[in-house]
Structure 1
Amino acid sequence: MSYSLYQHQSISDNTLDLPTGKVVCIGRNYLDHIRELDNEVPEQALLFMKPATALVSLDEPLLLPAGLGECHNELEVALLINSPIQRGDDINITEMIWGVGLGLDLTLRDLQSKLKNKGQPWERAKAFDYSCPISRFIPINEFHDLNQLEFSLIINNITRQQGSTAKMMRSIESLLSEITDCFTLLPGDIVLTGTPAGVGVLNSGDKLALTLANRYKFGCEII
């Protein structure tokens, strides 16, 4: 199966005039997820990246990698960057973020565990092609407070993940500031803000329903 070329889309089905950039991911930003995997609480935000080739629209059926062990869901609130953000910038969310959506940080858990045990980077388990299915984006002005967003993942009519950005260990503003202490965010980049508890195995035939802010609904099927 080949996917169509990914482009950022709005909730109104318009193609956005923003390039397809990198995906910056935040690990261990929800305490319940840290506990479920028995990980250490990080002193700084745990940052890793996925390349643009990881992006695929959630409007398309998902195909999991074959022969690489368990692939897990990690549902996250996604921020689409609208203007450059550099070290030392004052964070103005309404100017710097175009909109908000949902993303899946697909993770090859068996492979990640092996890499972690060897002290090696996670890219082989996190950054493979199409490892970041992403929804259409809702304009920033549709949200009152990005630090109070509820979101959920239902698989085969059973709730798998349910979270709120109010329970993040770091706020949206502090995440953007900490990221840009290390590297610049550019228009078209996406920031995934971390996943709550409830990660688990995905299987062919699973039907996924994702909800953001109790209003916006997305869905896809694994083939």
Structure 2
Amino acid sequence: MTLLFDPQPPVLAPTSDGRFFPVRRIFCIGRNYEEHAREMGDKADPEAPFFFTKWAETVVGDGATIAYPQGTSNFHYEAELVVAIHRPGRNIPRERALDHVWGYAAGLDMTRRDLQSEARAKQRPWDAGKNVEQSSPLGLIHPASALGDATKGALTLTVNGVERQRGDLSQMITPVDRLIAFLSGLYRLEAGDLIYTGTPAGVGAVVPGDVIVVAVQGLTSLTITVGQHDQ
């Protein structure tokens, strides 16, 4: 078999035990904290989780400098807990959902907010606002035992040392186990899938030179620097 070009290598996310987690797909949950839904002008629906997807190659690791992307003048941070799936399954019952979790990490869903808002106003998909190069920074993945059932624990974000976001995992409208059950009812979840579980209130814009730190209680923090505009 002759390939037309060399494929891109897999995205490998480091774990706290020195191994690497091969990233397959990214599912991002929207409107999963009530106050954030309100600040976006939306209503959270506990019966119908909302999600979008991203490419695996949007993942970058702790300590990275990410380029300020083209096409936007309103680049926002969103701090999130990230779930790493290691056991495949379809129609996973909620009571068995956490058996499919390898671990958890701190993460960021970086967003071209102006493009997202424009798409929302026109009732179009959010891809241009969300599925952006380097837009899914991911911290060190810790085994699930670091958080247990991930139903509580502080989630904070600072920009240049100033706190901008503070929430608690207990405030998630749809918790991790139910998210897994929901997504597996639509897709067969596979080893390597990541679930970004939503962000609390306090999202806002950054500019080149800003340093963002995301901390989830019990996990290693994630630090990202915003670089110059993408060329």
TM-score by length of structure 1 reads 0.91
Alignment equivalent of 1:19, drawn from 11, 22, 33? 22
Q: Is 1:6 matched up with 2:44?
A: no
Contact 1:210–1:218 (8 Å) recurs in 2: yes
CA offset digits 1:3-53 (Å, max 9, x no partner): x973111124x232x432110011000000011111122341001100112
Separation in 1, partners of 2:98, 2:115: 38
Q: Is 1:37 matched up with 2:48?
A: no
2:200 is aligned with what amino acid?
P
Matched residue SS, 2:65: coil
Matched residue SS, 1:62: strand
Contact 1:69–1:111 (8 Å) recurs in 2: no
Q: Is 1:124 matched up with 2:128?
A: yes
Contact 1:49–1:127 (8 Å) recurs in 2: yes
Q: Is 1:133 matched up with 2:137?
A: yes
Give the structure with the higher percent strand: 2
C-alpha spacing 1:32/1:206, structure 2 compared with 1 (3 Å):
same
2:214 is aligned with what amino acid?
L
Aligned to 1:50: 54
1:186 is aligned with what amino acid?
E
Contact 2:11–2:22 (8 Å) recurs in 1: no
Separation in 1, partners of 2:151, 2:216: 13
Aligned to 1:199: 203
Q: Is 1:222 matched up with 2:226?
A: yes
Matched residue SS, 1:160: strand
C-alpha spacing 1:219/1:178, structure 2 compared with 1 (3 Å):
same
> Cα RMSD over matched residues?
1.8
Offset, 1:56: 1.2
Contact 1:62–1:221 (8 Å) recurs in 2: yes
Question: Any stretches of 5+ residues in structure 1 without a counterpart?
Answer: none
Identity %: 28
Question: Any stretches of 5+ residues in structure 2 without a counterpart?
Answer: 1-8
Separation in 2, partners of 1:142, 1:190: 17
Written as runs of structure 1 = structure 2, the 5 A alignment for 1:73-222 is 73-89=77-93, 91-213=95-217, 216-222=220-226
Separation in 1, partners of 2:90, 2:189: 7
Contact 2:90–2:188 (8 Å) recurs in 1: yes
Separation in 2, partners of 1:41, 1:95: 27
CA offset digits 1:156-199 (Å, max 9, x no partner): 11101111110011111111111111112110110011110010
Contact 2:146–2:218 (8 Å) recurs in 1: no
Deviates more, 1:62-71 or 1:22-31: 62-71
